[in-house]
Amino acid sequence: MILVIAEQRDGRLNRATWETIAAAQQLAAGMPIKVAVLGTGSATVAQEVASAAVAEVMVVEHPALETYTPDAYASAASALIESVSPTYVLLPHTYQTRDFAPLLAARLRKPLVTDVTGLTGSGADATFVRPMFQGKLAAQVKPVGGPPALVTTQIGAFRADAAQKGGSAALTKFDVRIDSTTIRQKPEPSFREAKQAVDLGQAERIVAVGRGIKSQENIALAEKLATAMGAEVAASRPICDNGWLPMERQIGSSGQTVAPKLYVALGISGAIQHLVGMKGSRTIVAINKDAEAPIFEVADYGIVGDLFEIAPAIIAELEKS
Amino acid sequence: MKIAVCIKQVPTREWQPRLNDAKTWIREQDVSYEMNEPDAYALEEALRLREKQGGEVVVCSAGPARVQTVLREALARGADRAIHVEHDSLGAADAFVIAEALAAAMKDEQFDLVLTGLQSDDQGHGQTGVILADRLGIPSSTIIMEVQIEGNALHVKRELEGGWFQWISMPLPALLTIQSGINQLRYATLKGIMAAKKKEIRKAALPQGIEAAQQIVSLAVPTRSKQTQMIDGSSADAARELVRRLREEARAL
């Protein structure tokens, strides 16, 4: 049996859950799939996931799960796992999963394979693919010491629209006891820092810069290229960390997710945290001095070379006509 | 306040991957190493907290003899002393093994706060800190962008997806995994490097019987999901060809 732990916030399902259900279906090889929804007021979310081709949707409601904390979620999930004895537990690799899944694995003393992009084989003997060394290498790994083995699926790696629908799965309630004195984190409401004056999601073209731009003065070169292309300027995380461009221009898991007509990655190596924010772009151009940079794996057009020569040459070419 | 910072030594960003003959791990003899970047931010945060609160910063690492280089570097940046769980097998160990190894060496120290990077730039499991917190019996919070301490209360800003944040309160002792960019890094001064030579690195043995939680069956350069058209030639030629293809093939300009 495979258990999928859905993610919801304020009664809204995180779409990445569908990707994880698709992965579970690929892995299943005849094993039944159950989806657990943790939280309060999750009736709508439970109905939504019940349209998937799964055996059962388990609603785990408890006042301590109303606002997410790693201690409460790990308590509820470990009680559920001990009760249903799955072969695998699958979760989407979101920030919330990254916060509590290692705690869950530690308490259960069971393996956790994170950030999985693919799988080979199926059933109890499957092998999982995950990036290592900043995406420079892909590892085939086997969990040791399960079942269950916990597995998190990288956002965008499995297709949500590949998840098979199957009518209506049985909805059941799972009663869980959580001792509120064991919850040590006290969360406050979430908030947004920048006013998000720039909505990069609406841009037709984007020129994004990474570490390869080397210094703040060189941002002007990217801006000039963007102007010549009719594009907005954006950046990978380290550029915004350095304050060279404002945080609201950051693309990636901690910034905005975009899918423009044209995405030009200038000196961006392509760490997975960046790729998840832009790999849906229609045409991707990568310019990087390192021919092995992972950005070339998602690029339609690639130029290996010095961006300080190539970007001015592109500007000159565009200004010609 | 007694602060521990767990750091890992990882291949440099410039390193080009080469595999061992069995293709199950990298060829370590070719690698040059550096401090894992998120751990460097965790160290900087610890040094800043010590400047405000007083106390001690202890850097901890589990790895082969080579990791002494990053421990010395951390001491040169200002850490007071170091703990090194030394074993050759730790270079390729998974998060469970590293966390158990660190927990055994750290548990008697009674740290008030443990910081580490949110994940490592090598295996990137993103688990070590949280598992370590569980083994030390202390609460954790991850992907932290600001740390405030008042008395025995910890108030931290946790990063969520898509530009959202959240403040969380927790009692001390606690463990935090630190996000890159939380602060501006300092580098070692000559004085710091000289002082580091006299600082203590306590060696700890790897406890027997820690079981790995996963096995690397094979490593490979990832297969491309797209057919990338590489454009060669001089910068001017490549630029001209790119613009032509973007206009005529991709119709993106």
Q: What's A59's domain CATH number?
A: 3.40.50.620
Q: Output the six-digit token pair for A133.
A: 């060394």
pLDDT for A201 equals 81
Cα separation values, B242 from A31, A282, A300, B237, Å? 49, 16, 11, 9
Shared-domain flag, residues A254 and A167 = no
Residue with tokens 């499995």: A158
Q: Which uninterrupted H or E stretch holds A234?
A: strand A232-235
Partner-chain contact A205 B252, CB within 8 Å: yes
pTM: 0.91
Measured between beta carbons, which residues in chain B are less than 8 angstroms from residue A189? 166
Whether residue A195 lies inside any domain: the answer is no
Do residue A23 and residue A169 come from a single domain?
A: yes
C-alpha distance across the termini of chain A, in Å: 62
Query: Does the beta-carbon distance from A297 to B167 stay under 8 Å?
Result: no
Q: How far apart are CA A300 and CA B216, in angstroms?
A: 31
Contacts of B162 in chain A (CB under 8 A): 254-257
Lowest mean pLDDT: which of A272-276, B1-5, B107-111, B193-197? Answer: A272-276
Per-residue model confidence (pLDDT) at position A196 = 58
Which pLDDT does position A186 carry in this prediction?
97
- Predicted pLDDT of residue B26: 96
Strand order in the sheet with A283-288: A232-235, A205-209, A262-266, A283-288, A301-304, B229-230
Q: What is the ipTM of this complex?
A: 0.93
Structure token digits, residue B218 = 């094979």
- The answer to whether residue A194 sits within a structural domain is no
**Whether A219 and A166 share a structural domain:** no
Within-domain flag for A225: yes
- Average pLDDT (B231-253) is 95
Whether residues A95 and A231 share a domain: the answer is: no
pLDDT computed for residue B69 by the predictor: 97
User: Which residue do the tokens 């004195």 mark?
Assistant: A181
Type of residue found at B35: M
Range of the domain at A247: 200-320
Q: Does residue A292 sit within a domain?
A: yes
Looking at residue A126, what is its pLDDT?
95
Tokens of A66: 């109303």
Say what the pLDDT of residue A68 is: 96
Instruction: Count the domains in chain A.
Output: 2
| B141/A99 Cβ within 8 A | yes
Measured between CA atoms, the residue of chain A closest to residue B19 is A137
* Min Cα–Cα distance to chain A from B235, Å: 5
| Three-class secondary structure of residue B75 per DSSP | helix
Report domain extents, chain B: 2-205, 223-253
Are A227 and A169 contained in the same domain? no
| Nearest residue in chain A measured CA to CA from B124 | A132
Q: Do both A104 and A214 map to the same domain?
A: no
Note whether A137 and A206 are same-domain residues: no
Fill in the DSSP letter of residue A164: P
Cβ separation A112–B159 shorter than 8 A: no
- Residue A191 located in a structural domain: no
Nearest residue on chain A to B221, alpha-carbon basis:
A137
Stretch 12-71 of chain A: residues touching chain B, C-beta under 8 Å: 70-71
Place of tokens 């790990």: A74
Domain shared by A50 and A165, yes or no = yes
Whether A106 maps to a domain, the answer reads yes
Looking at the structure, do residues A134 and A57 belong to the same domain, yes or no? yes
Q: Across the interface, which of A111, A131, A188 has its CB nearest the CB of B166?
A: A188
Q: Which residues in chain B are contacts of A106 at CB distance < 8 A?
A: 96, 99, 130-131, 134-135
Torsion angles phi and psi, residue B124, rounded to 5? 65, 35
Please tell me whether residues A205 and A279 are part of one structural domain.
yes
Residue A256 has what pLDDT? 86
Q: Are residues A114 and A216 in the same domain?
A: no
- Which residue ranges in chain A fall short of pLDDT 50? none
Taking residues B83-95, report their average pLDDT.
97
| Predicted confidence (pLDDT) per residue in B70-82, tens digit | 999 999 999 999 9
The CATH class of the B2-205 domain is alpha beta
Report whether B84 contacts B206 (CB < 8 A).
no
Are A148 and A12 in a shared domain?
A: yes
Q: Which residue, of A131, A147, A182, is where some domain finishes?
A: A182
CB contact under 8 A, A71 and B139: yes
**CATH code of the domain covering residue A315:** 3.40.50.1220
Evaluate whether A269 touches B13 at the Cβ level (below 8 Å).
yes
Q: Cβ separation of A185 and B139 shorter than 8 Å?
A: yes
Option in B118, B166, B231 nearest A187 (CB): B166
Q: Is residue A232 part of a domain?
A: yes
* Average pLDDT of chain B, as a whole number: 95
B138 token code pair? 């202390």
β-strand partners of B204: B85
Length of chain A: 321
